[in-house]
Amino acid sequence: MAKDKVILACTVCLSRNYTTTARKNSTKRLELMKYCAKCGKKTLHKETR
């Protein structure tokens, strides 16, 4: 089960707030609801490449 570092970016303001690990063999991009300090609320964050 190999893992890879990924960066999560806010879909509203496009700021790159979080880094996390995800599986290497996954075809879908990771999407999580996270708090964005720039927006000041919970927004959808997507994996960037």
Question: What's the CATH number of domain 3-48, 3.65.10.10, 3.30.70.100, 3.60.15.10, 2.20.28.120?
Answer: 2.20.28.120
pLDDT value for 25 = 86
* Entry pTM: 0.84
Residues 6+ apart with CB under 8 A from 26: none
Residue 45: Cβ within 10 Å count? 24
Name the residue ranges covered by the structural domains of the chain: 3-48
pLDDT value for 1 = 66
pLDDT tens digits, the chain, 49 residues: what are they? 688 899 999 999 999 999 999 888 888 899 999 999 999 999 999 999 7
